[in-house]
Chains A and B, each alone.
Chain A
């Protein structure tokens, strides 16, 4: 990347402005902003109940926003359903319940978007493209016809992420991909997320592992009690500053959200 490219402000792939979502009387999201560029990992952090999962729901169409605006490439869009989100190129991977246990890896990867040939599902095309996709991601996984119930937690997460890439999404939302994983498995998953960024996908990474976040994210957005509570460039911040913003109070929480262009540098290992 040249310095000029780095400084050129490009239209962000995804832009949220003033997003609001209520559950009855509970205000889960209040006036939340978020911006993600292509080839960038934006981490979304916050305490339990900060609104992270709700925001994931808004992005994936499961919990459409009550107010505010979502823009893709600068144009306002409506993300009213998971189907709509997928059409727009937004893919989401959830912490739990993401896979169908009784189906094998290939079937899970293509569920809901199977290629057809003369009206019937083209399994050969599915397998060919699965092999291609997994090779491209450098994923090592047992035979493709293994039932996913037989896979480890890390492998399941990798399958879930790979599945979201089948449709060539522009935005990938990952909800706590490493929450239930061992250290080794977490590293495998995070490596995969970095390779996804290299493909030019805009990644929103929800996590409460500040270490993970700082090691792979480009920017860190903090939510607190349903509101924006600060935004940091991962390379220029510390876990203390982020934790302070998560907890509330402290000088960093008052910082206005940055509107910096994408830092395309790798920030591996900076913690």
Chain B
């Protein structure tokens, strides 16, 4: 037995996050910093507010897909078909909204329901036949691509009316300055308030608690960063509405994953399925729910992407932007081995990948360079993830 620490003590949240080791939050943040600095040196317009506004807008659709991928990765599965599901959702919205003249909202709901059904089917097959999700969703990828082509049969592509609210929202939706500042300021202050309340409760419970000034310092920096970002983006066109959707989804998913029983059960199923089963967690249901969330978020991302393009195109899923969703989740720090991952990794990963794309475009390099570099970064992330897992298992 260890001789250290008789009474259980608590490490700070940051230390715990660092202690988790491997490709967690810090390496991706460092990578992002390096990417930004290098591109800024190569081309001074990289960090211009105009380019950052674009970057945020470009990140949203694929970021939402990557967020869904985080859920399946946490339960130790993978969904290769997210790109196909995203395209199918876009095609369904196109055909119902434009082809059949449905209200946009109804078309969106149908697309989401279809996606949920696809996710449920994956989950059922995986748990019923103990089939590897990797192959089940590969089969799904092919079938869903087929379905998407069938939906768009004849036309090949469907243009969405550029004056519809869906397209306007996705292409030109920016938060008014006042709203953006209010959200950033309110968000920062809410974070500080929550930390102060938590600290007081910890102190009353006799638990180790941080110092007030570190909360105020950290919170002040967060607040300044948020307000500064809003101000800087405001020099361009402002904060894109679709990016706010992504940010909101990430924050919500983070709370759900960390602070709800369902979120914990996702981690438990991925980190020790047998352990989870034995404490009474319905592991099959948890697995199915992860696939459903993934497919639905893929559909949301696909619909936003389609709206931004103002067109649903046949075979849209072969677009590498969609395929990078899985890479984004891993580069952002979610483990491929299950049990370890965070909603923020989707945001971080997609911003890194989108930055690479944007940077190489500014440098007038073609997509081959971008794909090569993205591939190398993904490979590095996977190697670090694998090493971290080996280290964690040795005891």
| Interface check B305, CB cutoff 8 A | no
Partner of B278, one of A94, A128, A140: A94
Q: In the complex, which residues of chain B have a beta carbon less than 8 angstroms from the beta carbon of A135?
A: 7
| Interface check A69, CB cutoff 8 A | no
Q: How far is the CB of B299 from chain A (nearest CB, A)?
A: 26
Q: In the complex, which residues of chain A have a beta carbon less than 8 angstroms from the beta carbon of B338?
A: 102
Closest to B15 in A: A145
Q: In the complex, which residues of chain A have a beta carbon less than 8 angstroms from the beta carbon of B261?
A: 112, 114, 116, 121
Q: How far is the CB of A266 from chain B (nearest CB, A)?
A: 23
> Contact mask A107-121 → B, CB, 8 Å, 1/0?
110011110100111
Q: In the complex, which residues of chain B have a beta carbon less than 8 angstroms from the beta carbon of A114?
A: 261, 264
Within 8 A of B (CB), among A101-147: 101-105, 107-108, 111-114, 116, 119-121, 123-125, 127-128, 130-131, 134-135, 140-147
Knowing A100-B271, A127-B207, A149-B395, say if A155 contacts B1 (CB, 8 Å): yes
Q: How far is the CB of A86 from chain B (nearest CB, A)?
A: 6
Knowing A82-B278, A143-B8, A143-B11, say if A120 contacts B260 (CB, 8 Å): yes
Closest to B277 in A: A82
B268 touches A147 (CB 8 A): no
| Interface check A152, CB cutoff 8 A | yes
Q: How many A-B residue pairs have CB under 8 A?
A: 143
| Interface check B251, CB cutoff 8 A | no
B272 touches A97 (CB 8 A): yes
B8 touches A82 (CB 8 A): no
Within 8 A of A (CB), among B43-63: none
The contact size tier of chain A is 35 or more
The contact size tier of chain B is 35 or more
Within 8 A of A (CB), among B249-302: 255, 258-261, 264-265, 267-268, 270-272, 274-281
| Interface check A185, CB cutoff 8 A | yes
B9 touches A97 (CB 8 A): no
B275 touches A100 (CB 8 A): yes
State A62–B277 Cα separation when bound (angstroms): 9
State A86–B335 Cα separation when bound (angstroms): 32
A143 touches B5 (CB 8 A): yes
B11 touches A140 (CB 8 A): no
Knowing A98-B278, A102-B270, A134-B8, say if A124 contacts B202 (CB, 8 Å): yes
Closest to B272 in A: A100
A99 touches B277 (CB 8 A): no
Closest to B2 in A: A142
Q: In the complex, which residues of chain B have a beta carbon less than 8 angstroms from the beta carbon of A130?
A: 8
| Interface check B20, CB cutoff 8 A | yes
Within 8 A of A (CB), among B304-339: 335, 338-339
> Contact mask B1-30 → A, CB, 8 Å, 1/0?
110111111110000100110000000000
B272 touches A102 (CB 8 A): yes
| Interface check B211, CB cutoff 8 A | no
3 closest Cβ contacts across the A-B interface?
A: A102-B271, A102-B339, A100-B272
Q: A residues bordering B, Cβ < 8 Å?
A: 60, 62, 81-83, 86, 92, 94, 97-105, 107-108, 111-114, 116, 119-121, 123-125, 127-128, 130-131, 134-135, 140-147, 149-155, 184-185, 188
Q: Given contacts A97-B272, A111-B276, could you give 9 more A-B pairs where the C-beta distance is less than 8 Å?
A: A94-B278, A97-B278, A101-B392, A102-B392, A103-B267, A112-B279, A124-B202, A142-B8, A184-B1
Q: B residues bordering A, Cβ < 8 Å?
A: 1-2, 4-11, 16, 19-20, 198, 201-202, 205-207, 255, 258-261, 264-265, 267-268, 270-272, 274-281, 335, 338-340, 392-393, 395
User: What would be 29 A-B contacts, judged by CB atoms less than 8 Å apart?
Assistant: A83-B280, A92-B278, A94-B278, A97-B275, A98-B278, A100-B276, A102-B338, A103-B267, A103-B339, A104-B16, A111-B276, A111-B279, A112-B265, A112-B268, A116-B261, A120-B255, A124-B202, A131-B7, A131-B8, A140-B2, A142-B2, A143-B8, A144-B9, A147-B19, A149-B392, A150-B392, A152-B2, A184-B1, A185-B1
